[in-house]
Each structure stands twice: as structure tokens, then as C-alpha cells.
Structure 1
Amino acid sequence: MSRPWMREERVGLAAGRILDAAGEVFAERGVGATEMSHIAQAAGCSRATLYRYFENRHALQVAYMHRQTHRVVEGVARRLQHLTDPRERLAEAIRSALAAVRESPVLASWFTAADGARTAGLVEASAVLQGLCAAFLGDPDDPAVRERARWLLRIIVSLLANPGRDAADERMMIERFVLPVLLDGPETAPPRPEAPAGAGRMRRSLA
């Protein structure tokens, strides 16, 4: 017999049970294909009860994403304890975050071809995720730091949705193209290739 929902359960515990059930359904059906009715059935509660904790499907998705991100960040922080060099710390943080998501069937389900765009939109709109990244990069109240945090989130989502050829390829991209911008500023990033001589005249002739 299922446990009662509205008697002795505290709000946080009940919400956690719902999110646990949601994770199982996300992994089975995919994020976009999961309806509130599926989650209610998996959690052993009615849809009415589900809506007492989460006003709609979007709110539940965001809550799940935030909870899992906090867990990933805690795991990454433990792996960085022995590192002091800023470049090593940031590179390892990115690689560890990527590995944590890929090793979890539930989290990996958010970055499939069907759900990657949805996930990217949720990440882009999340002040919580941006704040976590900004706090790692520096002063989260600094607008420049927050801009770099937004870019870091985009890079992580991009690599999760479209991985590099292999670990060495991703390491190269992180070290050559990501670290210089995040740690030193865009002026130290690899320069853009110069246009061939006469390219400007060609563009004008085609205008």
C-alpha cells in the first residue's frame, strides 16, 4: 500500500519523492514526452496532489534540473579540493561536470536530440545555474563574471548535446578555446583567421 501523502509528510520530503519519481520517468520516456500524469502515477499520488507541489510541468522540470545541478556541483567541488592552479581547477570542473551528466542515465536523457533544445532553453533562463557558475568563476555580482558564467553554461550544454570526437578532442577544445576566454578575457583567445587578400573587394563586388 502506498504511503499517505498529505498527513505526516513534510513539504520538502514530499517534493523530493516527486522529483525522484520524475527522474525515473524522464529516463524512461524522455523529458519532453513526460506528462504530469506519468509522474503522478510513478510517485503514487494523484495529479491534484502533484499540482500542490509544482504548479505545472515547467516548474517541475526546473526544480528537477536545479536539484540535480546542485548535486553535480557538490561532486565536482569534492574532486577539486586538491587543485590550486586556476586553469587546472576550471578544466577539471568542466570535465567532471560533463562526466557526471554522461554517467547518469537520468541526466543524460536531458541532452538527447529530442530534448537538447528544451534543456538549453531551461539552462539559459535559469538564474540559479548562472549564479552557481558565476560563484565558481569569481564575484557573482560582477556583470562581467555573470556574462562569462552564461557562456560557460552554453559550452557545457553544447558539449553534452554534441560531444567531441573523444576525450582528447574535448580536452583540446576546453584548454584552447574555453579557458583563455573564461580566465583571461576574450583578448587572449585564439585570433580569428584573417580573410584572404582581396576578400573585401570580392564581397563588395557581390553586394
Structure 2
Amino acid sequence: MPAPSSPVRRRTQADRSTATRTKIIQATVTLLQTQGYAATTIQRIAKAAGVSLGALQHHYPAKAQIMAMVLRHYALKRTRLYRPAMRHKSQPEQRVDAMLSAMWTLVTEGPDFIATVEIELARRSDPELAAATEPVLARIDQFMTGWLSGRQHGKPDPKFVMLRLLNSTFLRGVAIEIARGTPLSELKEAYEIWCGFSRAELLAIVKDTP
């Protein structure tokens, strides 16, 4: 006698809402990468996501709110990649090597990073976007500085803040070069040179930190 089959779980309203938000974010990221910020309108996002404009605006009444969620989505993706990469990396040189390797993966695999660059560039001429995304970007910067310094809580040495800024600046440049069509092999070679510099600077900061 065959075993009774398990009842099929019906999707709840919360499940459907989560699925809709996921489709909206994924569509937005793809449009930002391929079309740019100005062309990524809420109408195009709704069409690409396969949802009605009303459904989109129910979750995100304004375009700026969608962009803030894209940044948050990217920050969570970054966290999920960094945590296992840096687990059990107690020595400063191990920590920076793991972080730089994870950074390369984030920038070169998938459309997420170039999408964030599009959003950040658009902030300069869009006050509403700037206001909506500022808290998310501040948390991302704090997160990055914490990983570099190995101190997730408390105020880090200002030198770590500057090194985080330099790393972020270089990565944004890499993203732009990828968009311009520069071969990844050339960028990888340049990145390895940068990694040597960044590693040396981190170790110098650690040595000078009381």
C-alpha cells in the first residue's frame, strides 16, 4: 500500500510578497547593469519583473525605495560571501587576503556591483535617491571598515577607514572598466598588483596600532 503523500503547502500571502519583492529587485539589478539608471524606470522594472505597476508600487511606492533595497540586497550578499571566507582567519594577513579575494568575486561575478555603481552615480543629481540610500551606504562602509580592522564594534583606527575608502575606490574603477569591455585577464593582473599594495598597507597599520 503506497504511503500517503504529504499535503502540498499552500503559499501564504507573506510567501507571495517575498517572491514579488525578489523579482522586482532582480529585474532592477539587471536593468541597471544593461540600461543604466535613467532608463531603469518603475514601468520598465514592473514589466521586466512580470508584475503589475500597482503591485510594484504597493511594495515600493517610489523608485528611490527600490534602489535602497538593491543596495541592501547587495550588502547582504556581500555579508554572506565574506563571513565564510574570513571564518577562522585570525591573522591580519589572512584576513586581508580573504577579503580581497571575496571582493574580486563580488565585482566580477554577476551584475550586482555595477548596479550599485549606477545608483551611487545617480545620487549626486537626485536628492530623493540620496536621502533614501544614505543610511544603507553608511552601514556598508561601516561593515567594510569593521572587516578590515577585525573589529566589528567600536570606533576603528582612521587609517582603516582610509584603506577601506581606497579599496572601494579601486573596485568601482574595476566595475567601470568591466562595463567598458576591458578583458578580465588584464583587470585581474592589475588587481593582483593592487592586492599587494593593500596587504602591505594593512599590515603596516596593524603594526603601528597600539
Q: TM-score range by the shorter chain?
A: 0.5 to 0.7
Q: Which residue does the alignment assign to 1:159? A: 170
Deviation of 1:129 after TM superposition, in Å, equals 1.2
Structure scoring higher RCO (CA < 8 A, sep ≥ 6) equals: 2
Structure 1 or 2, whichever has the larger Rg, is 1
1:144 and 2:156 correspond: yes
Deviation of 1:63 after TM superposition, in Å, equals 0.8
Pick the aligned partner of 1:13 from 15, 19, 37: 19
Deviation of 1:141 after TM superposition, in Å, equals 4.2
SS at match of 1:84: coil
Q: Distance in 1 between matches of 2:78 and 2:68?
A: 15
Distance 1:10 1:115, change over 3 A: closer
Q: Which runs of 4+ in 1 moved over 4 A?
A: 6-9, 119-125, 138-141, 147-150
Deviation of 1:139 after TM superposition, in Å, equals 4.5
Q: Which residue does the alignment assign to 1:168? A: 192
Q: Distance in 1 between matches of 2:120 and 2:194?
A: 19
How big is each residue's C-alpha offset from its partner over 1:87-132, in whole Å with a ceiling of 9 and x where there is no partner?
2212321332233222223433444xx6663479757862331343
Query: Scaled by the length of structure 2, what TM-score is found?
Result: 0.66
Q: Distance in 2 between matches of 1:153 and 1:60?
A: 26
The letter of the residue matching 1:36 is I
Distance 1:151 1:15, change over 3 A: farther
Deviation of 1:153 after TM superposition, in Å, equals 4.5
1:130 and 2:141 correspond: yes
Aligned residues: 178
SS at match of 1:133: helix
Query: Scaled by the length of structure 1, what TM-score is found?
Result: 0.67
How big is each residue's C-alpha offset from its partner over 1:120-174, in whole Å with a ceiling of 9 and x where there is no partner?
97578623313433543344442336x5675455233311222476133212221
The letter of the residue matching 2:40 is T
Q: Identity over the aligned pairs, expressed in percent?
A: 13
The answer as to whether partners of 1:31 and 1:110 remain within 8 angstroms in 2 is: no
Q: Which residue does the alignment assign to 1:75? A: 81
Deviation of 1:70 after TM superposition, in Å, equals 1.3
Distance 1:12 1:40, change over 3 A: same
Distance 1:51 1:155, change over 3 A: farther
The answer as to whether partners of 1:66 and 1:128 remain within 8 angstroms in 2 is: no
Q: Distance in 2 between matches of 1:59 and 1:171?
A: 35
Q: Return the structure number with greater helix share.
A: 2
- For structure 2, the 5+ residue unaligned runs are 1-11, 125-129, 175-186
Q: Which residue does the alignment assign to 2:121? A: 117
The answer as to whether partners of 2:71 and 2:137 remain within 8 angstroms in 1 is: no
Q: Which residue does the alignment assign to 2:65? A: 59
Distance 1:179 1:13, change over 3 A: farther
Pick the aligned partner of 1:37 from 33, 43, 58: 43
